[in-house]
Every structure is written in structure tokens, then in C-alpha cells.
Chains A and B, each alone.
Chain A
Amino acid sequence: DAKTTQPPSMDCAEGRAANLPCNHSTISGNEYVYWYRQIHSQGPQYIIHGLKNNETNEMASLIITEDRKSSTLILPHATLRDTAVYYCIVRVRFGGSNYKLTFGKGTLLTVNP
């Protein structure tokens, strides 16, 4: 199973870009990388996912290295409301054709005023 490694915590100043790294060196060639976040006491929230091309949506950008062994989630202009635990996830196949998302410990991003 592909696993991910993230720093346990990061700080960012409000208004600046937050760059959250993730290593997934054992990812297989056809597996996507997913990012979720969890604001305190709330359910996780889907942010973005990608395979090998960079992706951007209204929330964030995802940069995946050419060898696909790592990726970076970018919040271009972090706000205090972006303080949350960010999870980098590689989907795991189980039970035949079913998949699950395995949430690790993630990175606690604290956005400071």
C-alpha cells in the first residue's frame, strides 16, 4: 500500500502562500493523490486531487513532481480560517474492486495574524 509522509505541523502568516509538502514515494503509476483538510471539530473536507499534472481549483493548487514521489498543496493566500489539519492521501484498494481513503495524522497548519 502506498503511504504518505507529511510534517506534523507548519506555520504560515496570514495573506501569504502556504505550501504543504507530502512524500509518497511508493505510489503506483495509476494512483491519484488526494488532499483533504479538517477544521477543528468538523468533518474532513475534500480539497483537490491529481495524478501527474498540476491541478488548480478555487481552493488550492496541487503540484506533483515529475517522478510522482512527492507533491505540494498550495493555498495561495492563507487566511485564519485555513487553520486546519491537512491530509495527503493515496487511495488504497481493498476487497477486490473497492477503494478506501486512509487518513494518516496529517499536517496541522496554523495561520497566524
Chain B
Amino acid sequence: EVQLVESGGGLVRPGGSLRLSCVVSGFTFNTYAMHWVRQAPGKGLEWVASISSSRNYIYHADSVQGRFTISRDNAENSLYLQMNSLRAEDTGIYYCARDPGSDISGWLDYWGQGTLITVSS
């Protein structure tokens, strides 16, 4: 069974940093690209970042470029999102999701349950 479990969420002050993790199981992690997607309270889905299986391709949304960094550790079956210079508008649920391709196919076939980030003073 494919499973993706996010962690690392919580309350953080504006300007602060946080690192999200997503541990996966049930599939061969090092052969799949991965994504982070977020959802502000009561709002729609917003793509955050993508990374290919071998880290050859890494992309970030304009809204987080220069502040967030996606990475992965294939030996640990883990995906990460380093978030710096956090703003109130970064508040929301952050989902990790699997891409069915090794390079980025651009769609998401399995999703985790998400972890909540609240940026507030």
C-alpha cells in the first residue's frame, strides 16, 4: 500500500523557518518524482515545488522561489521542504504527493494527509 506521511508542521513566527518531512512507503521511492502542494484555509490547491527522482530537475513556484527549497534523501525514503522567511500567507496545509514518472510528468497520483503550518505572531 502506498503511504505518504508528512510531519514538521506547527506554529511559527513571521520570518521564521521550518522544515517539513514526508516519509513514504509501499513503493520504490528513488524511481518517482515528488511534489509539495499547499492549501490555505478555505482556499484552493497551490503547487509549491517539484523534484525528479534523481534530483536532476527541481522547480519552485514563484511565490516561494528563494525562500523554500525542496530536497529528497532516496536512502531514507524521504522528501523535504525547507521553508525560510515565512510569511502569514504561507499558512495552510502542506501535502506531499507522488508523481507517476521518474522525471516530472506533472501530475500527482498519491497524496499524503498533509501537515498544518501556521505563521503568526
| B is a partner of A | no
